[in-house]
Structure 1
Amino acid sequence: MSTDTDTEVASEGGIVAKMSVPTLTAMVVGGMVGAGVFSLPARFGVATGILGSLIAWAIAGTGMLMLAFVFQTLAIRKPELDSGVFIYAKAGFGDYAGFNSAIGFWASSVAGNTFYWVFIGATLGAFFDSFGDGDTVLAVAVSTAGVWLFHYLIARGVRDAAVINRIVTVFKIIPILVFIVVMFFAFDADVFADNWTAYGYGDLGSLNEQVRNTMLITTFVFIGIEGASVYSRYAKKREDVGKATVLGFLSVLSIFALVTLSSYSAVPQPELAATRQPSMVGVFQSQVGDWGEYFISVAVVVSVLGAYLAWTLMAAEVMYIPAKADDFPKFLGQENAAGTPITALVVTSIGVQALLALTLVVNDALNFLLDLATSLSLLPYLLAAAYSLKLGLTGESYEGISAGVRRKETIVAGAATAYTIFLFDAAGLKFVLLSTVILAPASILYIKARSENGRRLFTPTEIAVFALVVAGGIAGAIGLWTGRITL
């Protein structure tokens, strides 16, 4: 019989935790509530007014809810697929699709984790000029120390890191709720009215343009919705994965929308747009005084470090699981005595380190990393949604299930698929090409894994996909070399 506390089971490399619904939900919330929420006031202020933000949250909320339902459906219809988000792409569209999904998810996690360290540096930059916007030599040096400190912590065992994440999640939510309450108490009817469309402040473009300009940030803050799916092998019961995904999503959607609306209720749009990142700090300070700067800044650091912990775990898992299934080279499937996927963790930490070095030469490192992380996450989401749609259309796994249930789940999967395709358009060609710049050379790992196991390299369809990925990678590399694509 299961209980509310986490139990333990033996694994190949040691003892790992079996996670309950609250713990899985905390992993979802902890993964999503990171740095993004603290940047919402200025990111929305630059792009739109209240009306545009409401439409944007409605679109993003509906689209991501459909995606949350997709992960819930897949957890029920395909309970044997317990290896995380990449396994759905593999099951639905073949080994190479699964490989690209895993690499995309991993690379997105690495970019997001680098964003977290830059964000912490930018927060410290409000107090110490030498940290700048998180992209100075000192900021990179301090971040480097943090990367390898967390590497050591996680290497001690998945159970320790998961418990810490659950505790951190509670402590980082409280300051955000305080921000929302204080901002609504500071409600100014005139400011709210002026911010409704914000047209009086200058040309933000048409309402359609305003909404499109918020799509990547709304997607970025929801990255992590698949957190419970990634940890499904640790769940006490398979159905807990779906419950945790939906519960985590609805909780986070409420928080994000309230942060945005409460900011518009008290601060004019131009001031929001001009606020230094992390913008929640400056917005809160403008209403309560200097203590607010320290209060939210501490929350930023705690929140981001908690999210970094969760995402580093997820990134390592997404390399480790395919390696155990022979889809990645065997060396990435090695564990240490604590049961931690140590080689995958090392590669992940090195990846973050490399991107940290890149921030020294990138213009606007914060927004670049945010958009890159979002763009890389779209492929895994698209393939998972498309697989759910495929199941609904073909009837696979619906034996003995009513036609009404199948129809409803197929419609949901279709909506989620359409939403992720729309996000590719919103991301733009630049970030699609940058994604292939990563995917193309990473295919060497796929070739190595196939060679190690004596498997056929590509099917005819996969050859065509591989050629498309390589062509995109070459185009992206040429664009970077010639300056047509700027970082």
Structure 2
Amino acid sequence: MPVTTTTKAPVTVNNTATNKNTVRMWTLVSLIIGSTVGAGIFALPQQAASVAAPGAMLIGWGIAGIGMLSIAFVFQALAVRKPHLDSGVYSYVRAGLGDFVGFASAWGYWLGSVIAQVGYATLFFSTLGHYIPLFSSENRLASAIAVSILTWVIFFMLTRGVKQAAAMNMVTTVAKLLPIFAFLILVAFLGFSWDKFTFDIWGRSGSSGSVMEQIKGMMLFTVWAFIGVEGASVYSKQARTRKDVGRATIIGFFSVLALLVSVTTLSFGVLTQEELTALGDNSLGGVLEAVVGPWGGALISLGLCISVLGAYISWQMLCAEPITLMAIDGLLPARFGKFNKNGAPFSAQLISTAVIQACVIVFFLNETTYTSMVQLATMMYMLPYVFSSLYLLLLTTRGKGMTHPHAGTRFDDSGPAVTPQENRKHLFIAIIAFIYSLWLFYAADVTYLLFGTLLILPGLIPYISQRIKNGDKWFNTFEWVIVAAVVIGACFAAYGLSTGALEL
């Protein structure tokens, strides 16, 4: 899972500029900020207010800060211990827990990416709907058709080898950061009220539930906001020194954390929790509009549209990456990983685009909201996070992962030795990250957990067929347990859908 494989604006890095030991610390910092701060921040005020009052919101950010920093350091530690694993973060999961768990993580991350793509397109057109009545919330069909057309146009562009230029990245990064900084300055000096922020700081008069319930509600939104924080670790091999990676991770992480906390905190000082909850998907624009008038909302909307549209092309291109990697690594049929004469992974892009189209139809028929798409996508992203944390925990306690069928290959437990002091540090990081990951699953709405298993289930078909073709054992004992859990969860989800007990 490279840094570009995130739900934020992916960062395109010129290969000629990232030769070994040439990436400077501040370049790594920019990778973290660029890949983490994306369109999701524009929806944060409404998302936070929908589940938590100001006090619980701040506690939620504190827990997320500790947890997500530990996850970022998990990937950094694994990059140090397993520098030969270069098929993205999913390769850590495969090396440590076997083929199927690695496959499920990559498959889940791919589907999360697809859902996120639809979510961002929905956010883009709902923002346009404030200015172009054709795309208003009352005319969802027009938005669904527009998303479909945009998706297929981009697909045909990508099959011709068209990629996002570095200039596009620069424009979209500036376009999203300038309105955010304008928001922070204007709201802090013109609109923030301490009395309003503290009026019902624990949400006792609202319907958000207990403080613990509010904190749990914040969890998935905070993960969504932080996806991509492992950016510096991905490029650790090209960094001038390993110390630069650690420093960049800390600087980039706390810069992003400060930005996210500032946005949500200031918003609660402008509008009440109920007023924030009632805002649309571009709630950042709604808050600024309440402070300075319509031009503030228009400014944020413009930044959001440019940011999302600029990232859409790169993100659709990168949706194909997990499929391509799994095909190259033999977990999916080789034809899924083939490139056309223009150097584009045609089959993987076609599959991804077709699934995006199917999601557009399903989400349109079910009137699925952007918030629901975020929560479902985040649940799928959590798979490589929790299993990577478990792998590091196994490495630090028993020196190896689970038994792997391909011992002696690059997926075995080889790697440079670490000192006892380093191992203790990695153990501490792994424990915190693993506990935090489990807490996120506990805090999640069970609906999204069940739908997540339902989305993984179809992947068993190409996976098992490829195992049969290769003459490999389907699953080991540990994997059978995981498969059983997936099937049981999928059955509950299917039953819930058929009876109407579950819906997105």
Match of 2:442 in 1: 425
Does structure 1 residue 454 correspond to structure 2 residue 471?
yes
Match of 2:76 in 1: 72
Q: Structure 2-normalised TM-score?
A: 0.86
Structure-1 separation of matches of 2:453 and 2:138: 27
Alignment partner of 1:189 out of 182, 185, 194? 194
Does structure 1 residue 325 correspond to structure 2 residue 342?
no
Does structure 1 residue 475 correspond to structure 2 residue 492?
yes
Alignment-mate amino acid for residue 80 of structure 1: H
Structure-2 separation of matches of 1:134 and 1:347: 31
- Decide which moves more: 75-84 or 473-482: 473-482
Question: Are residues 165 and 341 of structure 1, via their aligned partners in 2, closer, same or farther at CA, if it must alter by over 3 Å?
Answer: farther
Alignment of 1:64-463 (within 5 A): 64-133=68-137, 136-157=140-161, 160-161=164-165, 164-186=168-190, 187-199=192-204, 201-226=205-230, 248-395=252-399, 400-463=417-480
Question: Are residues 469 and 364 of structure 1, via their aligned partners in 2, closer, same or farther at CA, if it must alter by over 3 Å?
Answer: closer
Question: Are residues 276 and 478 of structure 1, via their aligned partners in 2, closer, same or farther at CA, if it must alter by over 3 Å?
Answer: same
Structure-2 separation of matches of 1:148 and 1:255: 35
How far did residue 363 of structure 1 move? 3.7
Question: Are residues 452 and 46 of structure 1, via their aligned partners in 2, closer, same or farther at CA, if it must alter by over 3 Å?
Answer: same
Structure-2 separation of matches of 1:432 and 1:329: 28
Structure-2 separation of matches of 1:72 and 1:158: 32
- Decide which moves more: 206-215 or 61-70: 206-215
Alignment partner of 1:40 out of 34, 37, 44? 44
Structure-2 separation of matches of 1:482 and 1:334: 41
Q: Structure 1-normalised TM-score?
A: 0.89
Question: Are residues 161 and 333 of structure 1, via their aligned partners in 2, closer, same or farther at CA, if it must alter by over 3 Å?
Answer: farther
| 2:377 match: secondary structure | helix
Question: Are residues 27 and 139 of structure 1, via their aligned partners in 2, closer, same or farther at CA, if it must alter by over 3 Å?
Answer: farther
CA contact (8 A) 2:89 2:384 kept: yes
Question: Are residues 195 and 426 of structure 1, via their aligned partners in 2, closer, same or farther at CA, if it must alter by over 3 Å?
Answer: same
Alignment-mate amino acid for residue 419 of structure 1: Y
Alignment-mate amino acid for residue 85 of structure 1: V
Question: Are residues 468 and 273 of structure 1, via their aligned partners in 2, closer, same or farther at CA, if it must alter by over 3 Å?
Answer: closer
Question: Are residues 252 and 158 of structure 1, via their aligned partners in 2, closer, same or farther at CA, if it must alter by over 3 Å?
Answer: farther
Unaligned runs of at least 5 residues, structure 1 = 10-15
Unaligned runs of at least 5 residues, structure 2 = 1-12, 401-413
| 2:365 match: secondary structure | coil
Structure-1 separation of matches of 2:228 and 2:366: 25
Question: Are residues 241 and 309 of structure 1, via their aligned partners in 2, closer, same or farther at CA, if it must alter by over 3 Å?
Answer: farther
CA contact (8 A) 2:164 2:314 kept: no
Structure-2 separation of matches of 1:406 and 1:134: 56
Cα RMSD for the two superposed structures: 2.8
CA contact (8 A) 1:25 1:228 kept: yes
How far did residue 322 of structure 1 move? 1.5
CA deviations on 1:136-188 (whole Å, 9 max, x unpaired) are: 11101111222233334444548645663354223311111111111111222
Question: Are residues 335 and 283 of structure 1, via their aligned partners in 2, closer, same or farther at CA, if it must alter by over 3 Å?
Answer: same
Structure-2 separation of matches of 1:238 and 1:443: 41
How far did residue 35 of structure 1 move? 2.7
Structure-1 separation of matches of 2:126 and 2:84: 43
- Decide which moves more: 270-279 or 103-112: 270-279
Question: Are residues 267 and 461 of structure 1, via their aligned partners in 2, closer, same or farther at CA, if it must alter by over 3 Å?
Answer: closer
Alignment-mate amino acid for residue 435 of structure 1: G
Structure-2 separation of matches of 1:27 and 1:150: 25
CA contact (8 A) 1:72 1:243 kept: no
Question: Are residues 47 and 429 of structure 1, via their aligned partners in 2, closer, same or farther at CA, if it must alter by over 3 Å?
Answer: closer
CA contact (8 A) 2:155 2:353 kept: yes
How far did residue 92 of structure 1 move? 0.4
Structure-1 separation of matches of 2:201 and 2:451: 36
Question: Are residues 485 and 35 of structure 1, via their aligned partners in 2, closer, same or farther at CA, if it must alter by over 3 Å?
Answer: same
Question: Are residues 428 and 45 of structure 1, via their aligned partners in 2, closer, same or farther at CA, if it must alter by over 3 Å?
Answer: closer
Match of 2:403 in 1: none
Question: Are residues 372 and 7 of structure 1, via their aligned partners in 2, closer, same or farther at CA, if it must alter by over 3 Å?
Answer: closer
CA deviations on 1:112-158 (whole Å, 9 max, x unpaired) are: 11100111121112123332339711101111222233334444548
CA contact (8 A) 2:338 2:345 kept: yes
CA contact (8 A) 1:169 1:306 kept: no
CA contact (8 A) 1:188 1:265 kept: yes
Question: Are residues 77 and 246 of structure 1, via their aligned partners in 2, closer, same or farther at CA, if it must alter by over 3 Å?
Answer: farther
Alignment-mate amino acid for residue 281 of structure 1: G
Question: Are residues 83 and 246 of structure 1, via their aligned partners in 2, closer, same or farther at CA, if it must alter by over 3 Å?
Answer: farther
Alignment-mate amino acid for residue 466 of structure 1: V
Structure-2 separation of matches of 1:135 and 1:436: 32
CA deviations on 1:263-313 (whole Å, 9 max, x unpaired) are: 122222222122222111111111111111211111111222244344334
Match of 1:12 in 2: none
Identity among equivalent pairs (%) = 36
How far did residue 329 of structure 1 move? 1.4
Match of 1:13 in 2: none
- Decide which moves more: 137-146 or 332-341: 332-341
- Decide which moves more: 150-159 or 313-322: 150-159
Alignment-mate amino acid for residue 451 of structure 1: I
Alignment-mate amino acid for residue 455 of structure 1: D
Alignment-mate amino acid for residue 487 of structure 2: V
